[in-house]
Chains A and B, each alone.
Chain A
Amino acid sequence: MNVIIVGGGKVGRKLVEDFNGEDYDVVLIDIKSTVCEQVQDDFDVMCLNGSGTDLAILNEAGTSRADLFIAVTDNDEFNALCAVMAKKIGAKRCVARVRNREYFNQLDFMRNALGINLIVNPEYATANEISRMLRFPAAIKSETFAKGRIELIEFNVDSDNALCGKAIYEIYRKYKIKVLICAVRRGDDVYIPNGDFVINSGDKLHITASHQDLAKFMREIGIIQKKVRTAILIGGGRISFYLAAQLLESGIRVKIIEQNIERCRELAEYLPKADIVCGDGTDKNVLGEEGIDNVDSIVTLTGIDEENMIISMYAKTRNVDKIVTKVNRVSFAGLMENMGVYSIVTPKNITANIIIRYARAMKSAVDTEMLTLYRIVDNKAEAMEFIVNRESEITSRPLADIKIKKNVLIAAILRKNKMFLPDGNSILEVGDTVIVVTTRHISSLGEIIG
């Protein structure tokens, strides 16, 4: 598949890295020659030095043959213009990053009028992710499949956890709750475990289950799910704005601490229900005064990674239950994640994941349709949701008789709105939604057959 990316910034580079690892032909267009040189040295892609709105450059990049055209520079109007030009030249699908709120409000109109297939708003997507995290506070991360009917969460096994030292089959036998441990991260390695796998303290488990079962399971193993009722957001940027709006809607009380008085006034105007505090969120006294000791959750969203990290660490010492930290630099995100207690969001990864998911869905074969794709465990594994939409080899026999590739796990099946966990006797049917967890790259259900 031919992919053209305009803009080699944080997201552009991440996309190049991800596409390059898979079977895509990538051309990157960037106005800075240093960026081009750097990317060309690091990845096996072609780089063109020039503007994404320059017709000659677009032609040289082969836009007329492109399957996917992605504009992710830091300028909304430029991205939209690139995408429109690419579409006119003949690119099959176009993606543009547009983050301005005014544009975002008229999203449908822009999509239709300009012919842009996917408009990504990094801040909005990040806010979505954070609000999911706050809804399931025991998990470091949580994703949902099948319109929220199935959850996939990541959580940390502490040394006093009941699961410690138990093999997975023992866990299933003991609790008799329909959950599936589908991936385990131990140190830098990722395992797709079988029944004999023994859980150690420090492991990070990825579990799928329905919402109710998951809550029950967490209760049984001694992790209490406390609902988040209040939240403090440090920093009043775009993410804060979107997040506050979403949280307020689901009945969570929100307090935003922002330094800039102008921005505070703006926020107060658009978010009348939220408490807006003008002050320095890195100041211990301000945090104390605004009730860090009583709040359920704190989300650090300033523009500076270090500040976010330090505020989160401080919040931890004040026993805040749920802490979400925004970290722009991925290398730091790893550092925080290793400490295990923080939930990390990295906007550029979230944006890149949305675009990759879109690209992968384009590739998926005819007999199945990919609905969602989440990259879990530091992008080392993927969880995907497919719809089986016609008879094929995979629907012909019980799963035990199908030779499935190594490191591929069918985590859950959803049939007629009821979720069940597959075993060897299960047979897939047309219309099923199937959730697959794997450390490989696949884009259709047929590819899991070994």
Chain B
Amino acid sequence: MNYRMIAYSTGRILVAVAATMTIPLALSLYYREGNVIAYLIPIIISIAIGAAVSIKTPKNKSFFVREGFIIVALAWIGISLIGALPFYISGQIPKFTDCFFETVSGFTTTGSSILLNVENMSKSLLFWRSFTHWLGGMGVLVFTMAIFTAKDTRTTHMMKAEMPGPIVGKLTSKWQFSARILYLMYIALTVIEIIFLLFGGMPLFDSVVHAFGTAGTGGFGIKNTSIAFYNSAYIDYVISIFMILFGMNFNIFYLMLIRKFTQIKDNEEIRWYLCIIAASALIIAFNILPLYKSFGESFRYAFFQVSSIMTTTGYSTADFAKWPMLSQMILVILMVIGGCAGSTGGGLKVVRVMILAKVMVRTIKNTASPRSVFSVKNDGKQLETGVVKGIMAYLVVYVIFAVISLIIVSLDNMDFTTTVTSVIATMNNIGPGLGAVGPTGNFAAFSPLSKIVLSVGMLAGRLEFYPILILFSPYTWKRS
């Protein structure tokens, strides 16, 4: 194990994230909030630590899969601890476990909150809270990659650990260039959304913060009633559509940029994704029709909630915890499915569900006629058995992780719906669940132990389990 290299790479990520903290620092000065110290301390700490370990390039640059995964896991835990400090030092969230939960929820783009009253928080902290969504959405490692020139050739191991999805492909031959393209597209889409929201009459600060929440598919709002506060059909639809865009594989936007439309048309995952959204929205719209005046209105709420849950954002315009059971059930299923691979969304990812479905169909057919030969295809290309096996293993890990979390969280003795959906909503990086953690509720009532378990669940879900599992596995730290 190359400890020096692990420290070096993790240190650089810390420095990069600390640098972004100067934005809320500037806002705090601008709004004269008097909590400059809350940002200065974490910035100084992380730059001191980061610079100490990364000022000299390590001599031994050998670097393998194990190191890559450990760097990613450590970096995410590190930035969550540093990112939690502003909340703690400013005293706006008194307990450190709560600060940690809130920051993890931010970076992992979950959007679950322990705040009882969001509107009490100072503006710079609200900004920082949403900005963690934006950074965490595309990935802090991708961010570091885009700004630092690195000659390390083995970065693929790290990128694989951070980027969501079973198959990681890059846009161009160099990671740095790919990372820059990704961030440029990401910034462009975010800016476009801000402009659209401004047209809808949303104030500038609110537009920026909500655009960050949408872009990272996070879902931290700044109003107690989330997006419902604005009560505007225009804003609802703008946010819905942008949520759907950010839940798509970013390769699609790149293919659009270089005008390779046939490849977009051939992308099966996007078709499944859009079909699932459309079908779910229609079913729910009919199901909740009695609660609303017209079909238009019920569709608006159904569409918003479906896009928000499917993309694992977690904004809300209606209290879906009060909707009929069928609608609630569909939403819970969507929570598990999640966004597309290579997007900022969480969950199992559409492509995994799609391949699992195909494997299931094939297995049934094979049982009926054992001698026939089938192949599982994705985008018209035959899938390698390794990928299929990897997805099956992933599902098993996912279920076991959920079961263990469920058992620990049940110690709090909440009702069944709350316990189950709190785990599902955090592990899939959605935000609100049902019951006490529904759109109008929050996670404040849980014990510190549960909050830590849920935080680990959020990190594990965002990083797709393996980095966190490898970090905590004794096998990793044995001398080989």
Q: Residues of A with Cβ closer than 8 Å to B?
A: 20-21, 25-27, 33, 40-46
Contacts and interface: CB of A to CB of B under 8 A. Distances in A.
A46 B384 contact: no
Nearest to A27: B173
Contacts of B154: 41-44
Contacts of B389: none
Contacts of B151: 21
23 contacts: A20-B153, A25-B172, A25-B174, A25-B177, A26-B173, A27-B173, A33-B384, A40-B156, A41-B65, A41-B154, A41-B156, A41-B157, A42-B153, A42-B154, A42-B156, A44-B152, A44-B154, A44-B155, A44-B175, A44-B176, A46-B170, A46-B172, A46-B173
A44 B384 contact: no
Interface in B123-163: 151-157
Contact of B173 (A41, A42, A45): A45
Interface string B174-185: 111100000000
Contacts of A40: 156
A44 B174 contact: yes
Given A27-B173, A42-B153, A46-B170, 13 more contacts: A25-B174, A25-B177, A33-B384, A41-B154, A41-B156, A42-B156, A44-B152, A44-B153, A44-B174, A45-B173, A45-B174, A46-B172, A46-B173
B270 to A, nearest CB: 19
A27 B169 CA distance: 13
Interface of B is mostly: loop
Contacts of B170: 46
Nearest to B177: A25
Contacts of A27: 173
A197 to B, nearest CB: 22
Given A21-B151, A33-B384, A44 B156 contact: yes
A3 to B, nearest CB: 9
Interface string B372-385: 00000000000010
Contact of A25 (B152, B153, B173): B173
Nearest to B154: A42
Contacts of A46: 170, 172-173
A33 B387 CA distance: 12
A412 to B, nearest CB: 31
A81 B153 CA distance: 31
Contacts of A44: 152-156, 173-176
A20 B170 CA distance: 16
B266 to A, nearest CB: 12
Most chain A CB within 10 A, of B153, B172, B175, B177, is at: B153
Q: Which of the listed residues B151, B176, B177 has the most CB atoms from chain A within 10 Å of its own CB?
A: B151
A440 to B, nearest CB: 13
A25 B172 CA distance: 8
A43 to B, nearest CB: 5
Contacts of B155: 44
B249 to A, nearest CB: 17
Nearest to B173: A46
Query: Which of B151, B152, B174, B175 has the largest count of A CB atoms less than 10 A from its CB?
Result: B174
A44 B151 CA distance: 9
- Which of A25, A33, A45 counts the most chain B CB atoms within 10 A? A45
Which of A26, A27, A42 counts the most B-chain CB atoms under 10 A from its CB? A42
A45 B151 CA distance: 12
A25 B173 CA distance: 6
Contacts of B153: 20-21, 42-44
B257 to A, nearest CB: 14
A43 B153 CA distance: 5
Q: Which of A41, A44, A46 has the most CB of B within 10 A?
A: A44
A322 B289 CA distance: 93
Nearest to A26: B173
A26 B176 CA distance: 13
A21 B151 CA distance: 7
Contacts of A25: 172-174, 177
Contacts of A26: 173
A42 B153 CA distance: 7
Contacts of A20: 153
Nearest to A4: B173
A21 B174 CA distance: 11
Contacts of B384: 33
A119 B156 CA distance: 33
B160 to A, nearest CB: 8
A45 B169 CA distance: 11
B280 to A, nearest CB: 35
Contacts of B174: 25, 44-45
Interface string B187-225: 000000000000000000000000000000000000000
B67 to A, nearest CB: 13
Top 7 closest pairs, chain A to chain B, by CB: A46-B173, A25-B173, A43-B153, A44-B153, A45-B173, A44-B175, A41-B156
Contacts of B65: 41
